[in-house]
Structure 1
């Protein structure tokens, strides 16, 4: 399939493939891959033989296999077409529930959608088990080709899930009978996995033979919901997980029919949260194994003796589920390594109060805006702003938690009680954050003005470029007009209150500047006019740059060359040394390669940079760290200590919606990151993004701002100096992880 570059005389890197070459090589094998799956299914339907498969012997299944064989060309075409689409979309935006399943969405799933998710998960398990040994090396090589220094398995466009989804799509298109398709998906995925394993190995060998170096693993795989290191690839699907069918039956009362009506009103709430917790399999087993209550004829009892007895072993099943859910929820939070030990102790103190609440208020399970849920979420979110208990603000935060503990002794523990606790905490935090909020707003205003100026400058630069079209002008003049002077004119227009398009005449000066440096300009009387024009022109140029505080060092080259050209023009070639210097200045190439102008135009003046903590790309990137051989080991150690969180800032919600598609998926407003700046790791939250997503501002809990351009942010991420440690609220992440685990864990057991 792929030619290995071997031999002493060969230069492995001479014909090193691109990512596109790699994807194309794999897609060329897609038709043959599907052909092998079809052949395997056909052999599996044989009445006898070593490759006979019992599940394929049913008449409707055999008929489905024969139907696939009869239209093999169409089946292979569908598979190749869908696989190509998914690969070039990086996995596609319509990802299956096995990848993007979220707790709050699970209860909205129709039966057909849930069954399809389980169907795909079963297939995925078969494929991943088959490629377990060949996938990690390929992930490392593909990550390098994607530009990452560390392994990013989820970004591999050839990951197993993509092939599974293409297979599922193909079977759904060509096998109409649902029951037959459900039987076929697992053996078909097994055949796909066996052959895909060979392709993965061959593709990895090919890439290594051409000199592609594998990316570096960093601290194992990170489970963002718990902050814990992951295990090998198979661990995510190989274990037997909670069966959604069984859980739904249990919560619908199928295991306790006589008492169904008694707890019906609590079931949707408990179900929603049960599907988000890690240890629900244990809960389901325990509840199923409990003895059913025996109905007996009522007998007179001694009330005093009855009061002294132990409570019945089994109470209302709905209440039991609620109690178990709360206990498991707190167990899950206490296992989260991002939570500091002192906070976990405070959560343990809070747990009995939540138990008391849920006995009377089942809305806790289903309503994300329930005051008790909000209280837990806000406490955890704020705590994760502190990397350690030694941080200066941690004692004050802990004191605020302890100040509301008096509510826990209240005889009535209802939603209003938790609402009062939340209001008290929020009032304290608002007062503490007042100064930081003011700094953040001032920084955001400065950055917003900078983006507006830069966007306007880009438009002006395009206009200036059109004005220069067809004219014989030196590159350094083009550079100056499209960068520094475009900023000057843009700032003048933005600062003008009467709406004048050229309040200081800076734009009109462009024509004079261009005329003064053209080689083809008519020479008659030119020297005399230049002598009159040059002093005022230079003065106005410096004045305009001074208005925006443009650094002199960025324009010194321009003025040196401009003065040289003017001197040569005035001398009219009589001074050979001056003319030679002018010719040299004229021949210098542009400092801004074509196509890079948009990135290089982004500039902030000194006041804007200071207010927003702007990180200059060249000045502040920790290049020594990024290049250090110790970096991978240090990254691994840091990964083990990740203690970050994310929260959605309510005031930023509309902005976040407007920026959909502009901001990276894992860097939405509220995402928590760690940034390495000048040798130190800084914990900060993405609190603001400019409307056009050209500028980003991260803020620490103390209010210190760290802003940067998109270019700088991407460079930091590529170099491993900015990493997202929590992009969503911790509670939501934990619930989502368990919802996906519940789905994947369903594949090990047949539906009941």
Structure 2
């Protein structure tokens, strides 16, 4: 295969003569897919032999042998399925659907069916086999592919030829052609191993070819190449997870399968009714007799050996559940303490909370399955509020720490249950509500202003379309058209919204549109027009100024409009008799409009002065333009966000200007409660998304001090595109920590066969 690859591609003597494009590279690899599957099928066939150096023990059972022979017999269809799926995934950039291992969520495990659980483990095992095989040849190829995709730094997660794509294609092919689940599970690992060996050769030859054509590799993020999946060292979960944690057990914990029934003291000796004994005057005697009874000596508790043989007595279910709960809590806190978004002082507080959570979970496993459990809510509220502070030097941080120390007295309680955590949460919420009262009132007022602005702007968009229809086919200057579709549409919309009786034109502003259009038409020629213009122009101009004043429209945006309008009216009244006036009118007619015309599907978002002040509205040009348009790093912002995303996945910090530990990729839709950092006038501001308008045209972010920063969707998209809006946390950090526990369970499930 190696020779065939090089003969087909060729090696150029002159590297600059013909450099392949990314499409050429993908096409070259896809043409090898048929040969790749042939090698895998041949390897499986040899692996079923009873003896020989290529014998594979996992393929020796009759059902598996039969499945291999059927695959070999239908090799043409098998190869066609693999090639078709691989082509689809490659040209989708690696597949729109993510592999189960990439999206595994702790909270979703309790909803998994056995088949889904097995499939997650099946794919993860296959990925591990392939990753191990290509560990040395993949990083150089990632560097070259990244260059061809236009990146300066290596982006392994964006490589359309990454191993996960081939694993998904293999898994899809086996699922299509091997119907028996047991045989498919036995086949996936050896098939992936064969795939990895042959893929390693292809990666090496493809990289050699690309280098021979003069393509320079991209540089590694942070100055070093991360092999295989890009993991940077052992995660914090490795030291303990291998003893007990697996997906199957974790799912049972979430389902409550390990829960121990509560003990009923003296249940076999106590009568059904203590009231009856009181009546008979015997209750005290019974209690005294029971207290004096010798207590049995408890047998020493034996440690649970999770690696013991299957024929040894199994540990009680409740004991396994207790151990598993301890590990999950320990891993969750380990992940939180490793999270670089959390400040050191908060981590010390979390260490003090961990024993209390451990005590709780021994008696109440609902902590793992119920997001609304008071203990989960307490951790989540504390951590989410801490994200408001990028640094311990920020104003308000000491006050926040003091509020956490106020709940220390509960941590020594002899009873640590859901009610205890509920009391702690109530105490903190009471303090925070008092601190936030002023900010909450400001936020509510800002939200009302923004809601009104959205309603007005949406109505103005409809009116603009109506005015455009009225102007259709008429000979009217561009600045008149744009004024009606922008400023005057806002005036009419505000008038309608402010009217309580439901009138569509309470001040007659809508009816004025026809008069304005008639007064400035170039081709209008009627007897007595000049006399009528003299009579109507003063009132028309007065009403126009009155309407614009009602919405506080900026005078600088409309002054030139009035200057040009008056020039046109003067020329119309004189009917061309004054050449100087007519020349001025022609110049005004030809001048480019000062009102930017919007696309039909966009809302030109505009807020009046009061609305903008109350909501901290960020205007594109005034507040942002000079800061990101001229920024020298602007062309690299897409690349920087990808670097940050990869670093976040590896728990390795990316190097970028600005506050540390900011998130990476902006999602299509942010959730209410997400924390972000926004660059405004050169400074980074930490804020939380606290409000979104019903039609998602306006968004309001609020900092811990209560300052609002609102913006239109278009402004937010510009900030995102230029890397000036970065996500710190778009979902609860506690959920992320538990998701990492699920990932550790998946890893252990891959390394050890699932339990029956």
TM-score (normalised: structure 2) = 0.76
The CA distance in 1 between the partners of 2:223 and 2:454, in whole Å, is 39
- 1:484-534 deviation line (CA, Å, top 9, x unaligned): 111111111111111101111111111111112222222433222222222
Single out whichever of 198-207 and 34-43 deviates more from structure 2: 198-207
Query: 2:43: which partner in 1?
Result: 44
For the pair 1:702 / 2:705, whether they are aligned, the reply is: yes
For the pair 1:132 / 2:132, whether they are aligned, the reply is: no
What's the CA shift for 1:716? 1.1
What's the CA shift for 1:237? 10
For the pair 1:288 / 2:321, whether they are aligned, the reply is: no
The CA distance in 1 between the partners of 2:223 and 2:432, in whole Å, is 36
Pairing partner for 1:235 from 226, 230, 246: 230
Pairing partner for 2:613 from 602, 606, 610: 610
Query: 2:410: which partner in 1?
Result: 407
The CA distance in 1 between the partners of 2:594 and 2:85, in whole Å, is 48
User: What aligned pairs does 1:443-482 form with structure 2 within 5 A after superposition?
Assistant: 443-482=446-485
In structure 2, relative to structure 1, the CA distance for the partners of 1:458 and 1:394 (3 Å cut) is same
Query: 2:246: which partner in 1?
Result: 247
Alignment: residue pair count: 667
The CA distance in 2 between the partners of 1:567 and 1:7, in whole Å, is 73
Gaps of 5+ in 2: 1-7, 262-302, 641-652
- 1:438-494 deviation line (CA, Å, top 9, x unaligned): 111111111111111111111111111111112222221221111111111111111
The CA distance in 2 between the partners of 1:234 and 1:404, in whole Å, is 42
The CA distance in 2 between the partners of 1:627 and 1:125, in whole Å, is 45
Query: 1:496: which partner in 2?
Result: 499
Pairing partner for 1:540 from 543, 553, 559: 543
Pairing partner for 1:364 from 340, 364, 367: 367
- What is the DSSP-based 3-state SS (H/G/I as helix, E as strand, rest coil) of the residue aligned with 2:341? coil
Query: 2:105: which partner in 1?
Result: 102
Is contact 2:468-2:485 (8 Å) kept?
Answer: yes
In structure 2, relative to structure 1, the CA distance for the partners of 1:9 and 1:536 (3 Å cut) is farther
In structure 2, relative to structure 1, the CA distance for the partners of 1:745 and 1:529 (3 Å cut) is farther
Gaps of 5+ in 1: 222-229, 254-261, 268-284, 296-313, 646-662
Q: Which has the higher contact order (CA 8 A, sep 6+)?
A: 1
Is contact 1:458-1:598 (8 Å) kept?
Answer: no
Query: 1:112: which partner in 2?
Result: 115
In structure 2, relative to structure 1, the CA distance for the partners of 1:71 and 1:576 (3 Å cut) is same
Is contact 1:673-1:722 (8 Å) kept?
Answer: yes
Query: 2:682: which partner in 1?
Result: 679
Query: 1:331: which partner in 2?
Result: 334
- What is the DSSP-based 3-state SS (H/G/I as helix, E as strand, rest coil) of the residue aligned with 1:265? coil
What's the CA shift for 1:742? 3.5
Is contact 1:387-1:643 (8 Å) kept?
Answer: no
- What is the DSSP-based 3-state SS (H/G/I as helix, E as strand, rest coil) of the residue aligned with 2:92? helix
In structure 2, relative to structure 1, the CA distance for the partners of 1:496 and 1:136 (3 Å cut) is farther
User: What aligned pairs does 1:299-448 form with structure 2 within 5 A after superposition?
Assistant: 316-448=319-451
The CA distance in 1 between the partners of 2:527 and 2:14, in whole Å, is 69
Single out whichever of 329-338 and 151-160 deviates more from structure 2: 151-160
Query: 1:569: which partner in 2?
Result: 572
Is contact 1:613-1:706 (8 Å) kept?
Answer: yes
The CA distance in 1 between the partners of 2:728 and 2:259, in whole Å, is 38
The CA distance in 2 between the partners of 1:2 and 1:609, in whole Å, is 61
In structure 2, relative to structure 1, the CA distance for the partners of 1:668 and 1:364 (3 Å cut) is closer
In structure 2, relative to structure 1, the CA distance for the partners of 1:369 and 1:431 (3 Å cut) is same
- 1:380-409 deviation line (CA, Å, top 9, x unaligned): 221222112222211211111111211222
- What is the DSSP-based 3-state SS (H/G/I as helix, E as strand, rest coil) of the residue aligned with 1:433? helix
The CA distance in 1 between the partners of 2:735 and 2:246, in whole Å, is 20
What's the CA shift for 1:135? 2.6
Pairing partner for 2:660 from 619, 641, 659: 641
The CA distance in 2 between the partners of 1:11 and 1:525, in whole Å, is 76
The CA distance in 2 between the partners of 1:562 and 1:244, in whole Å, is 82
For the pair 1:529 / 2:535, whether they are aligned, the reply is: no
In structure 2, relative to structure 1, the CA distance for the partners of 1:102 and 1:250 (3 Å cut) is closer
Query: 2:265: which partner in 1?
Result: none
- What is the DSSP-based 3-state SS (H/G/I as helix, E as strand, rest coil) of the residue aligned with 1:387? coil
Single out whichever of 165-174 and 601-610 deviates more from structure 2: 165-174
Is contact 1:384-1:643 (8 Å) kept?
Answer: no
Query: Which protein is bigger by CA-based radius of gyration?
Result: 2
The CA distance in 1 between the partners of 2:712 and 2:515, in whole Å, is 33
Single out whichever of 109-118 and 174-183 deviates more from structure 2: 174-183
- 1:64-99 deviation line (CA, Å, top 9, x unaligned): 432442326752674267437x818x843x533222
Single out whichever of 718-727 and 518-527 deviates more from structure 2: 518-527
